[in-house]
Amino acid sequence: MAPSRKVIEYEQGVKTLEFRIINNNRQDMKLALYPVGELADYITIDNDVMKISASESEKTVYYTIDLPADLEPGAREAGIVVVELPQTFASTDDNLVVTDETAVLFGKKEKDTLVSATTAVVAKLQINVPYPGVYAEANLYVTEANVEEKTTFTISLFNKGSQSITPSGTIIIKGPTNEEIARVDAGSTTISAGGEGKLVANWLADVQPGTYVAEAVINYNGKMVKPTRNFAVGNLAVEIKDLKVNSFRLGSIAKLDVGLASHWNQKIDDVYADMQILDQKGNKVDEIKTNTYSLEPYGEETVSGYWDTQGVLVGEYDINVIVNYQGKTSEKLFETVVGADSILTKETGSLSAQVVGSEEKPSDTKVSFLTIIVLVLIAVNVGVFLYFKKFMKNRNNKK
């Protein structure tokens, strides 16, 4: 099924949506479809029973959702369950379909018997309903490092209220007994209603190897949010070097290559990566898992995952790469721009202490630097002109 999850912003009224059923085994199938979740009563499916032939690689399902005016704020969810029917199922005229939250039963009226179906998948739908006034949510990501190296903390902020906010952040680093070790300023930014922003801070890990806690304290418009994250400082670590995408075209399957490097003096087995594709609202668009690999001592490896971009829109996304190994994880957030024929990536940590927000303005320092360059070029041109004028005058006097 593609996409397996769809996220839309709330708007009262009727919306028409779709998803594709992929017939990857190329077989004849009879399918029943029905809505589930808290918004199931608002969903209408065009065809609740359909057939797919072995010659069809996929089929598109259309459905509508009529969103009411009184939905509770937050992430409201629904889903379309697709169940494969038994081959004995003939048509809706001869059979009774009974649904509940856990099973689908098909009863042949003439025999008065019940047959259960167990093969099912769900197309999930999330509707983001804004909160009135001021409301924000935050996620904290940590790019781990070894002793005496730079640890990067990235705070992703999501303004889910109806008013603009101005958040500022501080990272508090605590030891295993909850003692405070250091504080790092993450700066501030301004985020418009429904917008997204980031705060980034770096810390030199001048501590002993071990597990630590990062607590992000974000204050905004008289309110506070405090996401926390455990992270490690030590030698047993797999570094995420980069994320690359080659030979891409929107709508096709993109191969995401993650470069890994071991900083351990023994072989590390069972290494794999999870990649979370996040939109600019922080919603998880897709999640990709790579195969399992082994890293040789101080070795490097490229692990790959595959992203089906059918239905994906051109724009900016975050890809959070999480590498799993020996009960530990390494994590790095990449900012990506998806175009029609390319995916450009940049690790968030490369922003250093720079604040990234939805209303970021040009730096005065950059403007001043450009002004100095222009003035220097003007002075050089004037000097060259005067030199040649004097040279030509002396030459004429000699004649």
Residue-wise pLDDT tens digits, 218-255: 999 999 999 999 998 877 889 999 999 988 999 999 99
Q: One fold for both 5-129 and 238-351? A: yes
| The pLDDT of residue 392 | 57
Q: Which CATH architecture has domain 5-129?
A: Sandwich (2.60)
Q: Which pLDDT band holds residue 109 (cuts at 50, 70, 90)?
A: very low
| The pLDDT of residue 101 | 44
CA distances from 120 to 15, 31, 33, 116 (A): 25, 9, 10, 12
Residues 33, 45: contact at Cβ < 8 Å?
A: yes
What b/e string do you get for 161-173 counting C-beta neighbours within 10 Å, with b at 16 or more?
beebbebebbbbb
Q: Nearest Cα to 355, choosing from 157, 183, 180, 79?
A: 157
Tell me: the pLDDT tens digits for 148-200? 999 999 999 999 998 999 999 999 999 888 999 999 999 999 999 889 999 99
Q: Is the pLDDT of residue 363 over 60?
A: no
Q: Which pLDDT band holds residue 377 (cuts at 50, 70, 90)?
A: low
Mean pLDDT over 201-220 rounds to 93
- Residue 374's SS3 state is helix
Tell me: the pLDDT tens digits for 289-335? 999 999 998 899 999 999 999 989 999 999 999 999 998 899 999 99
Q: Which pLDDT band holds residue 132 (cuts at 50, 70, 90)?
A: confident
| The pLDDT of residue 394 | 60
Amino acid at 114: L
Kindly report the pTM of this predicted structure.
Answer: 0.59
Q: Is the pLDDT of residue 107 over 70?
A: no
* Highest mean predicted confidence (pLDDT) among 69-78, 287-296, 351-360: 287-296
| The pLDDT of residue 265 | 73
Instruction: Indicate the burial class of 390 (C-beta count within 10 angstroms; 0-12, 13-18, 19 or more).
Output: exposed
In which region does residue 148 sit, left (phi positive, over 0), alpha (psi from -120 to 50) or beta (all else)? left
The domain spans of the chain are 5-129, 136-233, 238-351, 366-399
| The pLDDT of residue 165 | 95
Q: Which two tokens stand for residue 34?
A: 């029905």
Hey, what's the torsion of the CAs at 85, 89, 91, 95, to 10 degrees? -100
**DSSP 8-state symbol, 131:** P
Q: Which CATH architecture has domain 136-233?
A: Sandwich (2.60)
| The pLDDT of residue 118 | 53
Domain 238-351 has what CATH class?
Answer: mainly beta
| The pLDDT of residue 140 | 97
Listed in sequence order, the residues at least 6 apart from 43 whose beta carbon sits closer than 8 Å to its beta carbon are 35, 63, 64, 65, 78, 80
| The pLDDT of residue 72 | 87
Phi first, then psi: give them for residue 304, nearest 5 degrees: -125, 145
Q: Which two tokens stand for residue 226?
A: 């405090």
Residues 171, 214: contact at Cβ < 8 Å?
A: yes
Q: What percent of the chain has pLDDT over 70?
A: 79
- Residue 56's SS3 state is coil
| The pLDDT of residue 381 | 61
Q: Nearest Cα to 21, choosing from 44, 46, 50, 43?
A: 50
